[in-house]
Each structure stands twice: as C-alpha cells, then as structure tokens.
Amino acid sequence: MSSLDEALAPELERLQVGTLYRHVRRLEPADGPRAVLDGRSVLIFGSNDYLGLAREPRVVDAARKAAAEWGSGATGSRLTTGCFGLHADLEQEIAALKGTEDALLFGSGYLAAVGTIPALAGKGDLILSDALNHACLIDGCRLSRAEVRVYRHGDAAHARELLADGASFRRRLLVTDGVFSMDGDLAPLEALQEFCEETDTWLMVDDAHGTGVLGATGAGTAEHLGLSGQVPIQMGTLSKALGAEGGFIAGSRVLIDYLRNRARSFIFSTAPVPATVAAARAALRFVREEPERHTRLREISQRMRQSLRELGFQVPSGDTPIVPVIVGEASRALRLAEGLEERGVWVPAIRPPTVPEGTARLRVSLNASHTDADLERALAAFHALR
C-alpha cells in the first residue's frame, strides 16, 4: 500500500464501523419520478426536482436546442470568452423572478456561496451564521477569514445577542438558508430582517430549496413570508426546482456589478454550459405560467406529512416539500431506508455529520409529478415498517 492509501484506509474503516460510511448508488433512468436502482425499478422520494421539471419534455428540448446552437460548453469564464446572450437573458429572468435589479450566474449554488461571502466580508468583519446552515455557507464563511459567530438554529434573539459588540466590526453580514435542507423548516426572516436593518447588518439568504417552490409566484421564502424586496442578497440554485444546474445571486445593480469583479468563483471558473442555461430558462417559464405545479406540490406535501404522522412517525410540521422522518440512530435510519427500498421506494437516510448526532432521519422529498398512486405506494411501505 502507498503511504497515501495507508493513511486513508483506517479512516474509511472507522466510518464503516460507525455505519457512517457512504457510497454512491448508480441509477439508470426510468419514467417520471422513478429510476432503476441495482436492477430494480424504484419510486424516488429523495430528489430535489420538486416541480418535476428535470424530465419535462419541453425543458429537455430547450437544452437540446441550445447545445445544437451554442455548443456543448461555454468555452471560458464569463469575463473572458464565455458570456453568451443566453446567460445574460437568464440573469434578467432571475432578477425578474426575485424582484431585484440584477442577478449573477455561477457554475453552481455552492460556487455562488463560496464566491460571494468572502467577497463581502473579510478580516475585521463579523458574520452571523445559523447553526444548521448548508455546508456551502459554512465554507464561504471559513474562506472569508471574518469572525464567524454561530447562532442557535432559527433563533433570531440569539443572533441579536451575538451582535451585541457588532459596532466594533467594520461590516456585519448575516447568512442563513431560507428553507433548511435537512429539516424543511424556514428561517425566521421577518425577525432577522428587522434587526439586520436596525443594526446595519447585511442579510444574505440561500434559498436553494425555496426558489420556484414557495411564494405566490415561486420567488421563494422571502415572498412566502411577505418580505419581497427586503432581502438584499438573495442566493439560489438552478439545480433544484428548476431541474438544471448553476447558482445565482440576485440583488442591486451595485452588488451584482461588485460580485462580477470580486467573486473569485465567478471570475476563475467556466460559465455554465448553454444546455443547462436554456433548461433553466424553460423551467422558469413553467414557474411563471403553470402555478398548478406548485399547488399540487403543496397539496401532496401536506398529505404526506399528515399521513406519516398518522402512521406514528415523528414528522415536524412545515410548509415545504421536504418531509423529514426523524428516527434517531443512524443504524435505524439505514434499516428503514433498506426496507423501503426492498418495497420499491427510494428515500435517502440522512446521518451525522450531515445532521446532529441522534437525529438521523429519512428525508422524504415530494415531486409535483408524484401521482396519488405513488403516494399510496410509499405510505404502504412505511406502514409495513412501522
């Protein structure tokens, strides 16, 4: 064994003993919210394709046409050779959805976070961060070299406390998920926005799971909570409800122009491929023109929560298509996930370190293209494993 493998192998073994070892499952395509997994057709209750747009023929067709017209790759960073009209049009459409002056596209949501946070805060600045924020926000905070203070999950009063000596910092930034990805709950944006305004703290909301899903027009968590136009730094991804790939920041003309010049993950990384940009544009059209997809998603999410609870599972309340079934021990979560899979229902088990110790869970995600029969099948499988 090389010294490299020798150093790494014991760490892998430790993960296996603790049932925290992960491996990547190989899927083959099937119709709608289904896939073939190890030769077995399964219903997927774990994807982030909330509106069922990743497989919508008109979205796929837009991707195909863009590849034919613009080529398979973007050929460079946007600042050099990679800025196609297609990308600029998508940015305007994102800004329109979010109600901001402008928007900036990144290669992924992750890249949007790790580029934006260090561009806005550095040494001598303070960042307040929710304890359950997504890893990309955490990594963005670490890269920034600002002082980072973590407030208890969803606790605006605690965030305010941690800001007591905030005036001694040059800048203050508060970062939070809009919808928390492993719990499906919402940030207390109203309270956060209020004290951010009072204390001149910049508010950044990562709305990866809210965009296209929450709010009357699908604009996201801020719209859902009646705070349209009041979140100055709005981050999102094209990879969830929009079924494509890429991330973005929406905000004022000055913010976006600044990020174009300062966000390293924008400057030094190739622009998203034309096919994915075109797919996202087509998906946005569905968000604008087919609100019945939201309505369906909302309806089946509530039904799933309610029915799982009636079966005796521990399911927190919420407004989102992320329905966590809290089971506690990682080994129990794995056993349940295996049992569901044997019954043709694929739900991911989420274990530490993704979630805190003792709160391992199954994370059920709904998709607007799940039929009533799909829901029945999933519930029957849960019933059998109760």
Ligand X SMILES: *Cc1c(COP(=O)(O)O)cnc(C)c1O
- Of the residues 181, 239, 301, 369, only one is catalytic, namely 181
The answer to whether residue 322 forms part of the interface with ligand X (CB under 6 A) is: no
Report residue 292 as tokens: 């019945």
Q: What is the rounded CA–CA span in Å between residue 360 and residue 347?
A: 13
Binder among 70, 110, 202, 346 for ligand X (CB under 6 A): 110
**Residue 198: closest CA among 224, 166, 226, 228:** 166
The answer to whether residue 130 forms part of the interface with ligand X (CB under 6 A) is: no
- If the CB atoms of residues 110 and 346 are measured against ligand X, the closer one turns out to be 110
The answer to whether residue 187 forms part of the interface with ligand X (CB under 6 A) is: no
The answer to whether residue 181 forms part of the interface with ligand X (CB under 6 A) is: yes
Q: What is the rounded CA–CA span in Å between residue 161 and residue 379?
A: 43
According to DSSP, residue 238 is labeled: S
- The vertex-44 CA angle with 38 and 47, nearest 5°, equals 115
User: Taking a C-beta distance cutoff of 8 angstroms, is the pair 212, 244 a contact?
Assistant: no
The answer to whether residue 50 forms part of the interface with ligand X (CB under 6 A) is: no
Mark 282-311 with x for binding to ligand X (rule: CB under 6 A) and - for no binding.
Answer: ------------------------------
209 is catalytic: yes
Determine what percent of the chain falls in helix, strand and coil, rounding each to the nearest 5.
45, 20, 40
Q: How far is CA 151 from the centre of its chain?
A: 20
Containing 12, the helix (H) or strand (E) segment is helix 3-17
Stretch that binds ligand X, among 65-73, 97-105, 204-212, 363-371 (CB under 6 A): 204-212
228 is catalytic: no
Binder among 59, 105, 136, 336 for ligand X (CB under 6 A): 136
Listing DSSP states for 14-37 in one string gives HHHHTT----PPPEEE-STTEEEE
Q: Residue 208 CB, nearest distance to ligand X (Å)?
A: 3
3-state secondary structure at position 224: helix
Q: What is the rounded CA–CA span in Å between residue 314 and residue 295?
A: 25
Binder among 91, 130, 177, 223 for ligand X (CB under 6 A): 177
The answer to whether residue 108 forms part of the interface with ligand X (CB under 6 A) is: yes
Q: Residue 359 CB, nearest distance to ligand X (Å)?
A: 17
The terminus-to-terminus CA distance of the chain in angstroms comes to 45
- If the CB atoms of residues 8 and 135 are measured against ligand X, the closer one turns out to be 135
Q: Residue 171 CB, nearest distance to ligand X (Å)?
A: 22
Binder among 140, 215, 247, 321 for ligand X (CB under 6 A): 247
- Of the residues 209, 224, 294, 370, only one is catalytic, namely 209
DSSP lists the bridge partners of residue 105 as: 248
Strands 172-177 vs 126-130: parallel, antiparallel or unpaired? parallel
Q: What is the rounded CA–CA span in Å between residue 182 and residue 118?
A: 25
Q: Residue 71 CB, nearest distance to ligand X (Å)?
A: 22
- Of the residues 98, 134, 224, 240, only one is catalytic, namely 240
Binder among 94, 208, 259, 315 for ligand X (CB under 6 A): 208
DSSP lists the bridge partners of residue 38 as: none
Write the single-letter amino acid at 195: F
The answer to whether residue 183 forms part of the interface with ligand X (CB under 6 A) is: no
**Residue 220: closest CA among 200, 260, 248, 257:** 248
When CB distances to ligand X are compared, the closest residue is: 109
- If the CB atoms of residues 62 and 241 are measured against ligand X, the closer one turns out to be 241
383 is catalytic: no
Stretch that binds ligand X, among 29-37, 106-114, 263-271, 275-283 (CB under 6 A): 106-114
H helices of 75-184, where? 85-98, 109-120, 135-144, 156-162
- If the CB atoms of residues 175 and 256 are measured against ligand X, the closer one turns out to be 175
3-state secondary structure at position 340: helix
Q: Which of residues 325-364 bind ligand X (CB under 6 A)?
A: none
Q: Residue 339 CB, nearest distance to ligand X (Å)?
A: 26
Q: Which residues are catalytic?
A: 181, 209, 240
By CB under 6 A, name the binding residues for ligand X. 108-110, 134, 136, 177, 181, 206, 208-209, 237, 239, 247
